[in-house]
Amino acid sequence: MNRLIPLFVFFALVGLLGFGIYWNKHHEMSEVPSPLIGKAAPDFTLPLLYEPEKTISGKQLLGAPYLLNVFGSWCPTCQYEHPILTQQIKPLGIKLIGLDWKDEPDDAKRWIAQFGNPYDALITDRDGRAGIDFGVYMAPETFLVDAKGVVRYKRIGMFTEENIRDELLPKIAQMQREASR
Amino acid sequence: MLPELGQFALILALLLAAVQCALPIFGAWRGIAGLVAVARPAVAGQAVFVVLAFGVLTYAFVTQDFSVAYVAQNSNLALPWYYRFSAVWGAHEGSLLLWILILNLWSVAVATFSRKLPDVLIARVLGVLGFIAFGFLLFTIVTSNPFARHLPGLADGADLNPILQDPGLIMHPPMLYTGYVGFSVAFAFAIAALLGGAESAGGEGRSAELVHWVRWARPWTNVAWAFLTFGITLGSWWAYYVLGWGGWWFWDPVENASFMPWLVGTALIHSQAVTEKRGGFRAWTLLLSIFAFSLSLLGTFLVRSGVLTSVHAFASDPKRGLFILAFLTIVVGGSLTIYALRAPKVAGGRPFHFVSRETLLLINNLLFTCAAAMVLLGTLYPLIGDALGVGRISVGPPYFGFMFFLLMLPVVLLLPFGPMFRWAAADWRAVLRSLLPALALALVAAVLAKLLINDLPIRGLIGVAASLWVAMGISLYAIKRWRDAPAGRRYTPEMLGMILAHFGVAIFLAGVLITEAASVESDLRFAPNESKTIGGLDFRFVGVQHAQGPNFAADEGTLEVRHSGQLVATLHPQKRQYVGGGSVQTKSDIDPGLFRDVYVALGEPLDDPAKTAQGATGAWAVRVYVKPFVRWIWLGGLFMMIGGFTAATDRRFRVVAERRNDASDSDVPAEVDALPAGAVAR
Amino acid sequence: MNRLLAFATAALLLGLFALDAFAIDPLPFKDRSEEVRFQNLTKQLRCLVCQNQDLADSDAPLAGDLRKQVFEMMRAGKSDAQIKEYLVARYNDFVLYDPPLKPGTWLLWFTPLALVLIGAFAVVRIVRARGRLAVAAHAGVKDNVNSGDDDW
């Protein structure tokens, strides 16, 4: 019996490694789950891109859910995500707020002029402080925040048809079910 | 045309590997001498084609044939000719071919230097090696063909990753692989012994020669271990001067992948000594032989499957991962099954007292194996965390360093006792008395160090004490041996190797602990001609100029280092921009020394270049390190390597007992002919 | 395949060598001990952008921002534990190189020592059993180097 122990331990190891391959195929290994899910979104007060003397704060957004999309003109993946935002995210009817992260306002304006503005509101976080509060570590990232200000979902990386269908839509449905109770 | 020839050569090698595996093992099983004799020629044949394939790939790199996709991805027109050779193993496909080449070289060596060994045993050993070669060749041909074409041929290639454009790269992978792959020989011997029934219970009716399998496996294992030690040492030294951040070990998953076989290999070489001389630890030696090579295979899997993130990893691909995993399962699962079926059922060997050298070596086996298990656990824990659903767990140096220290502490404390203790029964009081000078020296030196350098942290004191304890302990043994043994038989090569290697441990300990305790690092802002003092040295920043290399342009800084007014070194750190990929590399400059290194890396210009006058330099950010005793880390590794090679040269391992062992009541190897005269056989 | 390799290489290079070497970051430390504390702290934190580097050595712009944040918190009098908590609350435990002791990591922290203890227990049991045989067989052994027992 003792002599079978190494074999059993090895099979456990193989199982783990096989799981690893499967996990690797279905998950982006560099994604780090956000500790903010289920907690109140961090408060922020940030200027609008086109009217920097005006600001929007997290408190003002309470009462209706919103999607906070973090992007930058320096981010190539954000270009790929842009049409998806316009064609698939916006039609969902939830307020879409764009957060221009660690970017020069002029570059951002040029980018928006070139690609179009899908956002209901466009704010800038030039030095990245608000980004740190939200735990942003790359672009694009998108947060789903409900009417009470609780973070329900974070998408790390660009949206694709699959994760909109498999992750975002169910979360929105759940959020709306809870709201209607 | 030529690359296709290379591909064809690989296929032929694959067929020969299949022949090398199947026929001799079948022949050994059924006693068909003709099939058994196929082993050596098959090895030669496979080697010819593998060398041919490797040569073709090298030729493609040297002649810059960008129609071969792998060449195009890993070199370009500006690559200096000497890096074209090492670019062959710069990425996944080529490094696999290197792996296979080295496996073939080991197989040829085993086939050549085993004339005195029984044919049946060698047939099985070569057969197992053939099976491994078959798996790797199949993997290469099916998923990682280095000869795949990119047609139409590109005009220029991408580039060899700049950090790989370094002399260290030329040496590190081949040495590392020679070690890794070398454990396959110990593995093959163990499987051959198990298959041949050498280890089955009772040992009735088996020939005496098969009992000697451990003795014959020992030199091969020691050489493989020495190469692996060298490869890891080189890798650490290379990371230190290339990566620019003064670190020498990061517990990165791929580093761990090479360290685990080393830990088990260290346990193995010690366990083999006990099995060979005393007949005991047979199960340990068998299992450790299997584990050492299994960990080598596991390392190959981890690096190439994408299961773990690492700066070191080759591009990942789940399909490749699955293939290697399947191969791993067959090889390791198969060998552990053979072990379960054929391992010795009764503990053998000469009995030994609780206080004896055997017990110390048993503790050694246990601690090194646990250390390897700990490294494996920590490396795979992020995956376990995902599997258990507890979230992303991050395991880094604080875990590995701490745990490793805990596990090695008993080893370091007991090390001087090992050689001093006798086999079977030791008088620990007498040994402790004879080691008191070492203990005293260690403590006195630690106290002195604290008095001389007041702010030396505890780690430094432990480093001083531990290294002196080990060094003095092994010296006391060497002296005792000189005094007590008759002239001409004082030090066998094995013993000499042991002394050198343990001395290397002492040097390594001093290096690691003192460097960690006493290193000084600082990020500084230097204006031109400004001087600052760090770690007792004065640094004067002269300025930054433009420099040109064969395939890069650089900003080169000049720093003058002075000690008490005397100019000690002038350093030229660079920031290079490579032509090929446009990537930027920080090339630090080091003033090496036996007792301290001075290390500088150039950062960013801190003043806007547009605002400074034409030709003048603004302020720059510079990182400065003063690292005492850091070279001792690698010096220790070198001593260990030399010790390993020395021990392998021992002639006694190569002598086959002239007389058959007809003491049928004992299952202990006959040692009469192999021991120095004067020994009493039991 | 080519594209994957190119992307991986680019990601690797971008991770290791950003276009500007921000990691060398002279900060206005007030004394040596503050600098050492900062170095030790940032060495224990993972850079989430290039995930196999610590915060002290990463060139990523985010790493630079976080280093500034850590520095400001140190100046504001926060302890190491508070700084780590701040980052974990935003970025997840993953940002720590030292896995915190919690139910999810008990296996990690306790298994190696458990293995040693189990192994030690087995060793003691087995060796003691053999030892009884050995004591009988080797009574009266002298410290004589030329006897077979001390030979290598």
Do residue C65 and residue C124 come from a single domain? no
Tens of pLDDT, residue by residue over B308-358, are 765 455 556 778 888 888 999 999 999 999 999 888 776 677 888 888 999
Higher pLDDT, B274 or B614: B274
Residue B63: half-sphere exposure toward Cβ, Cα within 13 Å: 10
pLDDT band at B505 (very low <50, low <70, confident <90, very high): very high
Output the pLDDT for position B79: 82
So where are chain B's domains? 1-165, 171-346+357-408, 415-519+635-642, 521-629
Q: What are residue B317's phi and psi, to 5 degrees?
A: -160, 115
pLDDT band at A66 (very low <50, low <70, confident <90, very high): very high
Which chain A residues have a beta carbon less than 8 Å from that of B373?
A: none
pLDDT band at B384 (very low <50, low <70, confident <90, very high): confident
Consecutive H or E run containing B546: strand B537-548
Output the pLDDT for position C137: 53
User: Of the ranges A74-88, B367-381, B651-665, which one carries the lowest mean pLDDT score?
Assistant: B651-665
> Minimal Cα distance from A32: which residue of B?
B392
Check the CA dihedral B381-B383-B386-B392 and report its sign. positive
Contact B513, B462 (CB under 8 A): yes
Residue B438: pLDDT over 90: yes
Do residue A40 and residue A20 come from a single domain? no
Tens of pLDDT, residue by residue over B511-553, are 999 998 889 999 999 988 899 998 889 999 998 899 998 878 8
Do residue A127 and residue A155 come from a single domain? yes
**What order do you get walking across the sheet with B520-526 strand by strand?**
B520-526, B620-628, B596-605, B589-591
Output the pLDDT for position C133: 61
Cα gap B337→B191, rounded to integer Å: 11
Is the Cβ pair B329, A33 closer than 8 Å?
A: no
Which chain B residues have a beta carbon less than 8 Å from that of A21?
A: 305-307, 318, 321-322, 325
Is the Cβ pair A14, B322 closer than 8 Å?
A: no
How many CB atoms are closer than 10 A to CB B295? 27
Q: Give the contacts of B45 (CB within 8 A, at least 6 positions apart).
A: B16
Do residue C33 and residue C15 come from a single domain? yes
Task: Residue B332: name the closest of B593, B625, B132, B46 by CA.
Answer: B132
Is the Cβ pair B318, A24 closer than 8 Å?
A: yes
Q: Region B2-9: what's the mean pLDDT?
A: 91
Is the Cβ pair A29, B306 closer than 8 Å?
A: yes
Which chain B residues have a beta carbon less than 8 Å from that of C58?
A: none
Q: Which among A17-21, B196-200, B633-637 has the top mean pLDDT? A: B633-637
Tens of pLDDT, residue by residue over C58-86, are 888 889 899 999 999 999 999 999 999 99
Contact B344, B282 (CB under 8 A): yes
Which chain B residues have a beta carbon less than 8 Å from that of C126?
A: 347
Hey, is B561 helix, strand or coil?
strand
Output the pLDDT for position B609: 58
Tens of pLDDT, residue by residue over B574-605, are 988 887 667 788 888 999 999 999 999 988 88
| pLDDT over 90, % of chain B | 52
Using CB atoms, list chains with 3+ pairs below 8 Å to chain B. A, C
Is the Cβ pair A30, C51 closer than 8 Å?
A: yes
Higher pLDDT, B661 or C90: C90
pLDDT band at A26 (very low <50, low <70, confident <90, very high): confident
Q: Which residue type occupies B454? A: N
Residue C140 to chain B, least CA–CA distance (Å): 10
Do residue C135 and residue C92 come from a single domain? no
Cα gap B181→B41, rounded to integer Å: 21
Do residue A39 and residue A108 come from a single domain? yes
Do residue C39 and residue C65 come from a single domain? yes
Do residue C131 and residue C56 come from a single domain? no
Q: Give the contacts of B369 (CB within 8 A, at least 6 positions apart).
A: B263, B264, B267, B288, B291, C119
Hey, is B544 helix, strand or coil?
strand
Exposed, middle or buried, B441 (CB in 10 Å: 0-12/13-18/19+)? Answer: middle
C151 in a domain, yes or no?
Answer: no
pLDDT band at B115 (very low <50, low <70, confident <90, very high): confident
Q: Which long-range contacts (CB under 8 A, 24 or more apart) does B594-597 make?
A: B594/B631, B594/B632, B595/B628, B595/B629, B596/B626, B596/B627, B596/B628, B596/B629, B596/B630, B597/B625, B597/B626, B597/B627, B597/B628, B597/B630, B597/B631
The total number of structural domains in chain A stands at: 2
ipTM for this prediction: 0.84
Token pair belonging to A42 = 């961090």
| pLDDT over 70, % of chain B | 89
Output the pLDDT for position B668: 40
Is the Cβ pair B393, C128 closer than 8 Å?
A: no
pLDDT band at A163 (very low <50, low <70, confident <90, very high): confident
Token pair belonging to B587 = 């090339």
Do residue C22 and residue C48 come from a single domain? yes
Residue C18: pLDDT over 50: no
Output the pLDDT for position B614: 46
Residue C144: pLDDT over 50: no
How many CB atoms are closer than 10 A to CB B34? 8
Interface test with C, best of A137, A141, A151 (most C CBs within 10 A): A137
Do residue C58 and residue C130 come from a single domain? no
Higher pLDDT, B489 or B131: B131
pLDDT, chain A, mean: 90
Q: Region B458-463: what's the mean pLDDT?
A: 88
Higher pLDDT, B108 or B579: B108
Tens of pLDDT, residue by residue over C49-60, are 876 788 888 888
Q: Chain C within 8 Å of A31 (Cβ-Cβ)?
A: no
The full length of chain C comes to 152
Output the pLDDT for position B362: 93
Output the pLDDT for position A29: 66
Interface test with B, best of A5, A7, A25, A154 (most B CBs within 10 A): A7
Q: Region B271-286: what's the mean pLDDT?
A: 89
Residue A9: pLDDT over 80: yes
Strands B589-591 and A141-145: unpaired
Query: Omega of the bond prior to A170 within 30 degrees of 0, cis?
Result: no
Higher pLDDT, C129 or C92: C92
Do residue A48 and residue A97 come from a single domain? yes
Do residue C108 and residue C95 come from a single domain? no
- In this complex, the residue of B340, B380, B391 whose CB is nearest that of residue A33 is B391
Is the Cβ pair A17, B316 closer than 8 Å?
A: no
Is the Cβ pair B336, A24 closer than 8 Å?
A: no
Do residue A48 and residue A71 come from a single domain? yes
Residue B396: pLDDT over 50: yes
- In this complex, the residue of C50, C97, C107 whose CB is nearest that of residue B397 is C97
Output the pLDDT for position B496: 93
Q: Which residues pair with A69 in a beta bridge?
A: A98, A142
Contact C123, B404 (CB under 8 A): no
Which chain B residues have a beta carbon less than 8 Å from that of A29?
A: 306, 308-309
Q: Region C129-133: what's the mean pLDDT?
A: 68
Which chain C residues have a beta carbon less than 8 Å from that of A32?
A: 48, 91-92, 94-95
Cα gap B374→B392, rounded to integer Å: 19
Which chain B residues have a beta carbon less than 8 Å from that of A16?
A: 380, 383-384, 387
Q: Chain C within 8 Å of A128 (Cβ-Cβ)?
A: yes
Output the pLDDT for position B211: 57
Tens of pLDDT, residue by residue over B251-272, are 988 899 999 999 999 999 999 9
Consecutive H or E run containing B560: strand B552-563
- In this complex, the residue of A32, A102, A133 whose CB is nearest that of residue C48 is A32
Q: DSSP per residue over chain A, as a string?
A: -GGGHHHHHHHHHHHHHHHHHHHHHHS-TT----TTTTSBPPP-EEEBSS-TTSEEETGGGTTS-EEEEEE-TT-HHHHHHHHHIIIIIGGG-SEEEEEEES--HHHHHHHHHHH----SEEEEESSSHHHHHHT--SSSEEEEE-TTSBEEEEEES---HHHIIIIIHHHHHHHHHHHH-
Residue A90: pLDDT over 80: yes
Q: Chain C within 8 Å of A173 (Cβ-Cβ)?
A: no
Residues B28, B33, B37, B42, Cα dihedral to 10°: -60
Which B residues, 507 through 546, put their C-beta within 8 Å of a C-beta on chain C? 521-525
Q: Region A60-68: what's the mean pLDDT?
A: 92
Range of the structural domain that residue A23 is part of:
1-30
Q: Chain C within 8 Å of B453 (Cβ-Cβ)?
A: no
- Residue A54: which CATH number? 3.40.30.10
Residue A180 to chain C, least CA–CA distance (Å): 30
Interface test with B, best of A1, A2, A3 (most B CBs within 10 A): A3
pLDDT, chain C, mean: 77
Residues B335, B338, B342, B343, Cα dihedral to 10°: 30
Q: What is the 3-state secondary structure (H, E, C) of B278-298?
A: HCCCHHHHHHHHHHHHHHHHH
Is the Cβ pair C92, A127 closer than 8 Å?
A: no
The total number of structural domains in chain C stands at: 2
**Per-residue buried b or exposed e for B468-504, using 16+ beta carbons within 10 Å of the residue's own CB:** bbbbbbbbbbbeebeeebeeeeebbbbbbbbbbbbbb
Contact B23, B35 (CB under 8 A): yes
Task: Residue B631: name the closest of B581, B591, B578 by CA.
Answer: B591
Tens of pLDDT, residue by residue over A100-136, are 999 999 999 999 999 999 999 999 998 889 999 999 9
Range of the structural domain that residue C114 is part of:
104-139
Rounded CA Rg of chain B? 27
C58 in a domain, yes or no?
Answer: yes
- In this complex, the residue of C88, C90, C93 whose CB is nearest that of residue A132 is C90
Q: Region C17-31: what's the mean pLDDT?
A: 70
Q: Which residue type occupies A9? A: V
Strands A141-145 and A66-71: antiparallel
- Residue C91: which CATH number? 1.10.8.640
Token pair belonging to B173 = 């992978």
Do residue C54 and residue C122 come from a single domain? no
Residue B446: pLDDT over 60: yes
